[in-house]
A and B are shown apart, each in its own frame.
Chain A
C-alpha cells in the first residue's frame, strides 16, 4: 500500500476524488457512510513527508474528546486508538501521536498552544478537535472563525497539514443556535481553506439514529465512552487514509 503511495506522482495533490477501497475497514459498530465522515481535501504535505520519512509525528490537540473524558483509561482515548489503525494502513511507517487535549478548552487558547507545540516539536500532521466549548461558551462565530482561520493558514504556510475534527452530536444541542453556527463556520473554513474536516456530528448522528441500541456516549450524555472513542478514531483514520490516497479526477480509468 505504501509502495503505491510512494510511487505516486504529484498528481495526488490535486484531487477530491477518493479511492475508498484503500480505507481501513470500519468495524460494524462504527461503520458510517463515507459522505458522513469527512469533507474531502488533499493532504499534500503529509504525502510528501511519507515519501521521505519513516516516522510520522502527529499532534492531536483539542479539548475533552482528545483528552478522553469519559473513557475508561487514557489508552481508550481516540489518539491512542488511532495509532494502531494508521500503523496497519501505512505499512512500514512508524506513527507517533502526542495527545495534547485539555478538557473544556476553547479554540483561542488551543491556538496559542499550537504555536508553542509546533515551535518545539514540529509535527507532520495536526489533528485539531474543536468547536464544542466555543459553542457552549457562546463565543461569537466570527471571532471563532478568525481564530481558527489564522491558525489553519499559519500551519498551511509552513507545510503542515491540519485536520479539523468537529463537534460531537449531542441531541440536547441539535437546535442550539450557537452549536449550529459554530458547525457551519467549521464547514465554511474547511471548504474555503481546503482542509480535511471530520464531520463528527454527522457520523455520530448516523450511528445514534441507525443503531439505537448502540451506546457510544457515556452516562453524562455528552462525552463519548470507549466505543464512542473507538469509532471516533476509526472515522478520523478513515478520513486521513482515504484522502492520502485521493486520486485526481482526470486519472479515473
Chain B
C-alpha cells in the first residue's frame, strides 16, 4: 500500500463525488463542487487518469515497446470487461427492482429500455459500447482512452513533443466539425465524445511529465495560480447564475464558445485546469487539517477502477431506493453514508488481502525441503 498522495486523494474525491452526483435529486448533491464550478468530477477524473498514465509509463522506462504495449493493452481490456460487467449488473439490478416492486417502468431507466424491447441489436450495441446506459457513460470513454494509451506512450517515448500538438489537432478538428461516435441501435451519439475528451486526458499526461509543458507549468506555478483564481471566480459566477452561451450569439465554430459537456468546450477545460492550478499543492495542508477524509479519499483513489464500478452500481441502487422510499433527508443520509462506507470497504479489502500475503509467504517462495 502506498502512502496517501495528492493524485490518489483527488481521484478518490472525484469518485465519491461521481457517486453522489449520480443519484439525481439527493440532498447531498448540492454540496458537490459542480455547484460552484463550471467543470465537474468527470473532467477531474479523466484529467487524473491521464496523469496516472504518466506514472505507468515512467515505471516502464527501459521496458521494450512491445512490453509497454502489452502492459497498457491489458489494462484497456480490464477496463473494457469492467464496463461490460457493470452494465450487465445494472441491467439485472433494474430488472430485479422491476420484479420486486412490480414496477416495469424501472426497466426504462437510463436507456435500459432497449435491452428488453430490442435485445437482439442492443446486446451487440452493448458489446460494441455503442449502447450505453445513462450515468454508465464515463467508463466507455475511459475504455477508448486507455485503448489509445499505448499510442500515446509510444509517441511520448520517441517524439514527446508531438503528443500534445496531435491531441490538440484532433480536439480542434472535432469541435470544428462536430463529429462524434454514433450510438446504436438507438440514434444519437456518445454523451462524452472521446475525440474531444482525449485532450484533457493527454493534458493530464503531459502535465505530469517532468519535461516540456509539465516542467514549464511547475516552474511558473505562481503565475498559473494567479491566472487560475479569476477563472475559478468566473466558473463560480457561471454555476450560480446558470449562464450558458447561446449558439446564435457566438461565432462559428460554435462548440468552441459554448459550455458543451459532450464536446468538452474550452470553457469547461480551462475551468478544470484553473482548479488544478489553484488547488495543486494544497494536499499537505489538507492532510494536516482533515487527515481522516484525506486518507479515506486516497484509499478510494488507490483502487479507482473497482471503486468506480461499485460506486456506479451503488448510485443506481440509490436511485431505486429513492423511488421506493421517497426522497427524505434521512433516506438520503443513510443511503450516502452506506454507499461511501461500501466504497471504502471495497478499496480496503484488497489492501488487507495483500497485507496477509506479505505476512504469510506463499508456499512457492519457501525453500524446497
A99, B185: Cα distance in complex, Å = 13
A99 contacts which of B24, B109, B187, B323 (Cβ < 8 Å)? B187
CB pair B134–A109 under 8 Å, yes or no, is yes
Interface residues of B in 232-275 (CB under 8 A from A): 242, 244, 246-249, 254-255, 258-263
A64, B263: Cα distance in complex, Å = 25
Closest chain A CB from B123 CB (angstroms): 16
Question: Is A115 interfacial (CB 8 A cutoff)?
Answer: yes
Question: Is A24 interfacial (CB 8 A cutoff)?
Answer: no
**Which residues of chain A have C-beta atoms less than 8 A from B322's C-beta?**
137-138
**Which residues of chain A have C-beta atoms less than 8 A from B105's C-beta?**
64, 104, 132, 136, 220, 222-223
Closest chain B CB from A19 CB (angstroms): 31
Contact with A along B93-118 (1 / 0, CB 8 A): 00000000000110011111110010
**Which residues of chain B have C-beta atoms less than 8 A from A116's C-beta?**
260-263
Contact with B along A64-78 (1 / 0, CB 8 A): 100101100000000
**Contact status of A104 and B254, CB under 8 A, knowing A112-B262, A220-B104:** no
Size range of the chain B interface in the assembly? 35 or more
A31-39, A84-92, A150-158 - the one binding chain B: A150-158
Q: Give the residue name and chain of the B residue nearest to A221 (CB).
A: B104
A221, B105: Cα distance in complex, Å = 9
Question: Is A210 interfacial (CB 8 A cutoff)?
Answer: no
Contact with B along A88-117 (1 / 0, CB 8 A): 000000000011101111101100110110
**Contact status of A69 and B323, CB under 8 A, knowing A104-B108, A136-B105, A221-B104:** no
**Which residues of chain B have C-beta atoms less than 8 A from A120's C-beta?**
178, 255
**Which residues of chain A have C-beta atoms less than 8 A from B114's C-beta?**
67, 103
A144, B104: Cα distance in complex, Å = 23
CB pair A139–B113 under 8 Å, yes or no, is no
Question: Is B293 interfacial (CB 8 A cutoff)?
Answer: no
**Which residues of chain A have C-beta atoms less than 8 A from B117's C-beta?**
69-70
**Which residues of chain B have C-beta atoms less than 8 A from A108's C-beta?**
24
CB pair B108–A64 under 8 Å, yes or no, is yes
A102 contacts which of B178, B186, B244, B263 (Cβ < 8 Å)? B186
A122, B105: Cα distance in complex, Å = 32
Q: Give the residue name and chain of the B residue nearest to A63 (CB).
A: B108
Contact with A along B177-191 (1 / 0, CB 8 A): 010000000111001
CB pair B247–A122 under 8 Å, yes or no, is yes
Question: Is B319 interfacial (CB 8 A cutoff)?
Answer: yes
A71, B111: Cα distance in complex, Å = 15
Q: Give the residue name and chain of the B residue nearest to A132 (CB).
A: B105
Question: Is B67 interfacial (CB 8 A cutoff)?
Answer: no
**Contact status of A105 and B111, CB under 8 A, knowing A115-B244, A116-B262, A222-B105:** yes
Q: Give the residue name and chain of the A residue nearest to B326 (CB).
A: A138
CB pair A138–B246 under 8 Å, yes or no, is no
Question: Is A20 interfacial (CB 8 A cutoff)?
Answer: no
Closest chain A CB from B179 CB (angstroms): 10
**Which residues of chain A have C-beta atoms less than 8 A from B326's C-beta?**
138, 178
A105, B248: Cα distance in complex, Å = 27
Question: Is A212 interfacial (CB 8 A cutoff)?
Answer: no
> Would you mind naming 6 contact pairs between A and B with Cβ atoms under 8 Å apart?
A67-B114, A102-B134, A105-B110, A109-B191, A115-B258, A115-B259
The 4 closest A-B pairs by CB, nearest first: A103-B113, A139-B25, A138-B327, A104-B109
Chain B residues packing against A (C-beta within 8 Å): 24-25, 104-105, 108-114, 117, 134, 178, 186-188, 191, 242, 244, 246-249, 254-255, 258-263, 319, 322-323, 326-327
